[in-house]
Amino acid sequence: MINHPGAQLRDLAVRIATHILPDVTTAYGQADAGLISGLLMALAQDFERAAFNRMADIEEIQQLFKTATANSSDLQNTQALQAFTADTPASLHLQDLDQLHARGFELLIDLHTWAENNNPELNQAIWSLLRRHSERNKFEVAGP
């Protein structure tokens, strides 16, 4: 087991930027090393939060579907929404979390399409969820 893998990845990124990049002689190689360092930084950020963020999204979507199905009698696809609220990932491997997350997002897109024309409050709630999703998954990485 690697302890604090995010921090280790960050250290590797810094190592590339401070020890390897200065010794690279071509502009192309320097750009490559800089990009790889930046990408390792992004991976470091995502590594720490990946499972937590996917589960946070899934739980928020489930809560939103519960509220929506309870409050709106004219919803389409109610059965699928309700089924999703009771679903759990097959495991905590990211592949399984991603699978459930993707299904949640697909249903959310359909619900959002409906809410835009039929339920301003739900529409607002979905935008708020998307904002929180984006904030959770924000990268702090310098551009090339």
Binding residues vs other proteins (CB under 8 A): 26-28, 30-32, 35-36, 38-39, 42, 46, 98, 101-102, 105-106, 108-109, 112-113, 116, 120, 123-124, 126-128, 130-131, 134, 137-139, 141, 143-144
Give yes or no for a contact between 123 and 116, defined as CB atoms under 8 angstroms apart.
Answer: yes
Is the Cβ–Cβ distance between 55 and 46 less than 8 Å? no
Residue pair 72/39 in contact (Cβ under 8 Å)? The answer is no
CA distance 52 to 128: 19
Least distance from C-beta 142 to other proteins, angstroms?
Answer: 9
* Closer to other proteins by Cβ: residue 3 or 106: 106
Query: Considering the complex, what minimum distance in angstroms separates the CB of residue 124 from other proteins?
Result: 6
Residue 119, SS3 per DSSP: coil
Of 1 and 57, nearer to other proteins (C-beta) is: 57
Place of tokens 């905590």: 92
Helix (H, G, I), strand (E, B) or coil at 34: helix
| Beta-carbon count within 10 A of 49 CB | 13
Least separation in angstroms between residue 134's CB and other proteins is: 5
Nearer to other proteins, 1 or 138 (CB): 138
Least Å distance between CB 10 and other proteins? 15
CB of 141 to other proteins, least distance (A): 5
- Give 8 or 123: the residue with its C-beta nearer to other proteins: 123
Q: Which is nearer to other proteins, 67 or 123 (CB)?
A: 123
H-type alpha helices, 16-119: 27-71, 78-85, 94-118
**Token pair for residue 44?**
């470091």
